[in-house]
Amino acid sequence: MRLVELLLLLFNTGWLILSIVQNRKIPLAAASGIGVLLLAVHAFTEGFRVQMLLSYLVTVLFAAVTVYSFVTRGKIHKLPRYLKFIGRGAAAVMLLLTIGLIAAFPVFKLPEPAGEYHVGTQTFHFTDTNREELFDDKAEGYRELMVQVWYPAQDTHGSPVPFIADERLLMEEPLSKTLGFPSAAMDYLKYVPSHSYEGAEISAAQAAYPLILLNHGYKSSRIYHTSLAEHLASHGYIVASIDHTYSSFATVFPGGRVAAMRTDEYRIVETEYRDQVGAVWTGDVAFVLDQFEKINAGELASGLHGKLDMQHIGVIGHSFGGAAAYDASYDDRITAGINLDGGLYRYHGRDGFTKPFMFMFSENTFDRFNKVRQHYVYTDEELQEMGATREEIEQETRDAEVEISHFQNTARHGGYILYVEGMSHYNFADVQFLTPILQLIGMTGEINPATAASIVNSYTLDFFDRYLKDKDGDLLEGPSETFPEVKIATPLFDGE
């Protein structure tokens, strides 16, 4: 909770108590003045948000009652007791509801980047004139992408950019639709700060920095991996996060044009359609890599000219973006990659590769793959609980067995298979910080979101330091006392 809104809520509560125990007009008037002043300070320094609406109403109503009392010379004190009881009871209920709402939708803080560098950010608009847009209604249109870059910075000035800098994204934010509450409830996200400075000068501490390409999950957004990008940038990486147009919940282009979700979220489980969308995502990664080669050569204006170490390139992604990271790793320019809790696409009939790769799974995802590995047979009762037929499970098993063959190839060539106890699918993204409601309904796991983010950030950094900077780390060597939740499952796949 922000400081002034906390003070406003506390004053409203004290105001209510004072109105019950003290009938003199002067103390109430003083309290009214303080409340109105706090409301004004809150509006100008922090900004209004819908979660505080009832508290604002209490402030205004108490001020109105105080003014009415003075104007009528105290006639309000002659009102029947039951009316006073109803009024104070309503105020108490509104304040209690306010406490619940701000607890459910906190103005949170993203994890502090732990590296030695400040973090700068800038955003690029790229158009691939060699690819027509498959998911646009226009007869003729090329594939357009927005790519946000985080990098080690120096001489940072001003304030960090907001977590969500463009309010048009809030209009399309999918969580409100998923949970069934008004989209206005997500408006508070514009007050969440990041740790990145727009357009800051790139640090001169190193001649060049390894490049990492970052891919969000299906129907997600690059913004939901801000903390991971900032963490890596603070440790000396240039991180380019791609918004996969029409598969993110919204992409805002220069001039304010918004490209909302258009790929079919119901067909994405179908192998042919999944591979079709996946091919576009992999094409996005390759195209963006082409653009950063031009940026590094000075062919595109950026301030990053010559600062990218194009001999050491990583790729990482969450969910469908994890599949993109794996598929993109067939590109010879990619040095190493990470898949965060994602399956695969375009994996049938293909051999794996030998370059360093890491799969980090949630407990549930790993359990599903591990049961396939163990040839687990579901009972009729389990199938009924899952809402699936035995034929559907058998088909999924056949597909999963092919995916597992890729995991096995990764393990045999020095890669890593990890899973994290207590983590669920959305614990790999910043969406886990939005509201504790996600944990209550099981969309995130039992693990504390800050711990989950620390695990993902730490293991990701350890992996990329090892293969992009040739640094020795200890997290991937075995069980960690710092992160006992992380289990290394590589031997389960290495020997098969």
pLDDT value at residue 204: 96
Asked if the structure places residue 112 within a domain, the reply is: no
User: What number is the average pLDDT over the span 16-24?
Assistant: 72
Asked whether residue 189 falls in the same domain as residue 316, the answer is yes
Asked if residue 224 and residue 79 are part of one domain, the reply reads: no
Indicate the helix (H) or strand (E) that contains 318. strand 308-318
Q: What is the pTM of this model?
A: 0.93
Are residues 16 and 155 both part of a single domain? no
| pLDDT over threshold 90, residue 445 | yes
Question: Beta-carbon neighbour count of residue 435 at 10 Å?
Answer: 23
Q: With respect to residue 110, please indicate whether it lies within any of the assigned structural domains.
A: no
The residues, ordered by sequence, that sit 6+ positions from 77 with a Cβ below 8 Å of its Cβ are 23, 69
Query: Do 95 and 148 belong together in one domain?
Result: no
Predicted confidence (pLDDT) at residue 453 exceeds the cutoff of 60:
yes
Shared domain check, 128 and 68 = no
For the chain, how many structural domains are there in total? 2
Residue that is last in its domain, among 73, 104, 135: 104
Tell me the three state secondary structure of residue 360. Answer: strand
**282 and 317 housed in the same domain:** yes
Is residue 162 one of the residues assigned to a domain? yes
Q: Please check the confidence at residue 88 and state whether its pLDDT lies above 80.
A: yes
Separation of alpha carbons 480 and 477, rounded Å: 9
SS3 142: strand
C-alpha span between 298 and 280 (Å, rounded): 27
Residues 449 and 307 in one domain: yes
**251 in any annotated domain:** yes
Residue 435 sits in a domain whose CATH number is: 3.40.50.1820
Domain that residue 78 falls in:
3-104
Q: pLDDT of 242-297, one tens digit each?
A: 999 999 999 999 988 999 999 999 999 899 999 999 999 999 999 999 999 999 99
- 434, part of any domain: yes
Instruction: Say if residue 45 is in the same domain as residue 124.
Output: no
End-of-domain residue from the set 59, 80, 104: 104
Question: Is the residue at 111 inside a domain?
Answer: no
Q: Tokens 């094409």 map to which residue? A: 283
293 and 373: one domain? yes
pLDDT, position 73: 61
- Tens digit of pLDDT for each residue in 156-166? 989 999 999 88
